[in-house]
Structure 1
């Protein structure tokens, strides 16, 4: 039986938004903060080139694999409760990683960060979604949320660079401990508990195991491809195992009474378009950020701090694109149009990076490319994030929120592994034909190959948005009677949009509504 979640007062809701968004920012920052610190950590802990990506993917992969579990846990046991456990656990895991003196301990801490981050992140998005059901306020709230969170990757690069330069790489992890105190105190005071809807339902433990192991096998396959080749039997076997595990997971979800991921979440085309395009967009962003970091430090000789500062235009552009342009365009143009244009602009910006060579200066190419990538990707990801809960009942808000996080984090994890494989292979091929004297040029050649594939990923995201996201332009109308899960003050609906009717399982039937 769905519980009624009362809308908190205006000031309380907006303060809660700031604090939970700050918590989400910490999670996203930690997916990227070691990008800049990685060369120092790699040298200090004697990590191999092939193994360095696991410092990044041990976090993003576990995070992505357990997000569905975390989202469903919030739906059943209370979103505020799960949020607080996730935040405290995340801070503790960060402290463990910060004192790590061996590779295995660092990887363990990063994996634990992923576990607790998977509890925190879907609770954040579902709390915001349930607190801002009104279309006009919802657009503004998700604009603020997207401005904070879409800048997380670039903020991580900046913070990681400054801390590594002036302290050491350990502080790139330790910094999360004091940062977590602010949203923790704020959440205890201002965040209302959007409680679960059915505490008698059982958690799908087999589903969580299958999803996590299947995704791990998928990313590990890309690592093997880098070391052993794409045609190697072990590589092919790993990819096959990943496909089988994920296929069994899908079949299990269709049969279970209380599935980890109700398949109805994926059958609505607008939500599906948001999930797929976000995965493709973050695949590109994570890969581009990684190789720009190596370009600036390895080829251009930038210090970690200077590298972090060099990413400031990307941070500012993402915040502007999401909070200012994205939220405004969403009330004037179709969501699919906004997303398609954003991803296309981001793809063109990445293609500018093909002009970089060993002698390039920061301006104009790198500066313009960062501004374009940040601005256009912010514009595209804002409506994609808002669409994550489109047409979903309160009982599925957590797991639907988890899906957009999964799309972004698993896309980023696969992007890091796949583009690293492509760049490494291209670099090796260039060295084989030109000799070791051209090492810096070979690295740039490898980076260019990765940029080209990253642009292709953004083009694919644009096509997904164009053909799957078909919501009409939102128009303000008079308030209507709220649904059973929330008590909104007003609602924005498209012109002549039908009222959604519940379907089996509690979620509304697909419609053209933004609630």
Structure 2
């Protein structure tokens, strides 16, 4: 069980400050995953980087985050969620400052990997802290606030990045993190109580599982990113290493007495369906945010700020509608919001296909609005559903799993799609090549989003995001799934 002497209320000062701290901190990490996109063309020109190197500026961060976020969640459960959250914020602060002074593509990629390590420590801590230190009746609303503002951070990133690039330097997109991280550290130290899984210290740590996760994702990302410029033998060999490490991870987790990921969590149909939907939907979202701002700058001649403003509809929608989407999910269950939301996003992506030479705001606005409405409908219910499907004591692990799945989906999609649609080298500076690749990517993203909606419709039938009762028996490796007709709708 979580070790907290007194649970917080959203209406009290410490509760509000704690929610501010975890929301702002998580938002900084998410913001940094999107703010860089709009500066990629400028970074590429100034540092003389290839498209593959620009992919690694994104993927280096996402790789470290995706492969270590499970470790971050487990360490928080074990050592204290507040403590690990603070370490992650401090690490992220230092790495951001180093990114701001990078002089070559290789230096920037290396510092982005370090940034991702810090993000992996702090990202699962935000949700785990909410789940463990707030009163049960306040958690759904707190999670809705977290999800909405975190979604705003992702959407507003391109706007902030565009303004900084056009009015200063791309280096400020990293430098701005320093004062924000200092504010989060101060708020967390002042208001947030410590919490942990009191039984975690009695268990060993799954270093083998952690290592295999890193190897599997790292090798697969390299194989996908390098597929257009590396010998086929090398690519196949690295892909084989990724497959072997992935299979080894599953075997290791099944046999471990203290696994990094309790595979029995996936016996819950709702937990598995929500994470499957997360993988494909966040893969599509990662590519849309990556390639749209490049397309508008390269092919339509927009400034970095104008391209960044395309995130504004999503920002407004998430700000105004996330809490309502969370309340709707509580009332009718998550199935409809999480099925319809991706389908609306898919429609929005298809409406963006004409964004090319001569594109104006009227060309892209209908697609952006539809995309924003779908995103607002699905984000909050998704987060609440994942946490509700796991026992409270595994809040850190459940949050870590979902974050890892989301980042892995985005990471692998950004790594694979450019080569799949024929983009490589300096193609991001060629309007004709960029437009062809953009349109192919948008069609694939729309298909992924439709798949996400279908998975939610069939996988979440009867699901309810009601917070999990902490008295629920612990899930063990041998726990059988519950009956499909259980009253809570999960199997």
Structure 1: runs of 5 or more not aligned: 432-437, 485-499
- Give structure 2 stretches of 5+ with no counterpart: none
Question: 2:315 is paired with a residue of what secondary structure?
Answer: helix
Distance 1:314 1:503, change over 3 A: closer
Cα separation, 2, equivalents of 1:402 and 1:440: 39
Deviates more, 1:125-134 or 1:454-463: 125-134
Q: Counterparts in 2 of 1:435-454, with a 5 A limit?
A: 440-454=431-445
CA distance in 2, matches of 1:474, 1:49: 42
**SS of match in other structure, 1:31:** helix
1:381 to 379, 382, 402: 379
Q: What is the CA–CA distance in structure 1 between the aligned matches of 2:262 and 2:276, rounded to whole Å?
A: 17
- How far the C-alpha of 1:512 sits from its partner, in A, is 5.6
Quote the offset at 1:474 in angstroms.
Answer: 6.9
Inter-partner Cα distance in structure 1 for 2:108 and 2:248: 32
> For 2:406 and 2:463, how far apart are their aligned partners in 1?
25
Q: 1 CA distance for matches of 2:117 and 2:430?
A: 39
CA distance in structure 2 between the partners assigned to 1:380 and 1:5 by the alignment? 34
Closer, same or farther in 2 for the Cα pair 1:362/1:129, shift >3 Å? same
1:61-119 C-alpha deviation (Å, 9 max, x unpaired): 11100011111000110000000000111111101111111222211211111111111
Take 1:26 and 1:2, find their aligned partners in 2: how far apart are those partners?
26
1:234-245 matches, cutoff 5 A: 234-245=234-245
TM-score (norm 1): 0.88
The answer on 1:250 being equivalent to 2:241 is no
- CA RMSD, Structure 1 to Structure 2 (Å): 2.7
Which residue pairs with 1:194 in the alignment? Answer: 195
Compute the displacement of 1:419 (Å): 2.1
**What is the CA distance between 1:386 and its match in structure 2?**
0.9
Alpha-carbon separation, structure 2, partners of 1:297 and 1:303: 6
Distance 1:2 1:213 in 2: 31
- Whether 2:90 is the aligned partner of 1:88: answer yes
Residue 507 of structure 1: how far off its partner (Å): 9.2
Contact kept, 8 Å, 2:314 with 2:375, in 1: the verdict is no
* Residue 24 to residue 222, structure 1, CA distance change in 2 (3 Å): same
Residue correspondences, number: 483
C-alpha change, 1:426 and 1:467, in structure 2 (3 Å) is farther
**Structure 1 residues 20-49: Cα deviation after superposition (integer angstroms, max 9, x where no partner):** 011000000111111111111112222122
> Residues 365-393 of structure 1: CA distance to partner in whole angstroms, max 9, x if unpaired?
31111111122122112111112222423
- 1:465, CA displacement in angstroms? 0.6
Structure 2 distance, partners of 1:238, 1:335, is: 39
Q: Rate the CA distance shift 1:513–1:90 in 2: closer, same or farther, 3 A.
A: farther
Q: Counterpart of 1:170?
A: 171
Deviation at residue 505 of structure 1 after TM alignment = 6.7
Q: Any idea what the Cα deviations from partners look like across 1:134-174, whole Å, max 9, x if unmatched? A: 35x33322221111111222222111111111111111111
- CA distance in 1 between counterparts of 2:247 and 2:477 reads 22
For 1:410 and 1:404, the matched residues in 2 are separated by 10
Deviation for aligned residue 1:400: 0.8
User: Judging changes above 3 Å, is the alpha-carbon distance between structure 1 residues 425 and 391 closer, same or farther for their aligned structure 2 residues?
Assistant: closer
Q: Does 1:114 pair with 2:116? A: yes
Pairwise mapping of residues 361-376 of structure 1 onto structure 2 (< 5 A)? Answer: 361-363=360-362, 365-376=363-374
Mapped partners of 2:38, 2:130: distance in 1: 31
8 Å contact from structure 2 (residues 284, 449) kept in 1: yes
1:384-411 deviations in Å (ceiling 9; x for gaps): 1112222423332111110111121111
Please list, as runs of the form range in 1=range in 2, the aligned pairs for 1:1-40 lying within 5 A after superposition: 3=3, 6-9=6-9, 10-11=11-12, 12-40=14-42
Normalised by the length of structure 2, the TM-score is 0.92
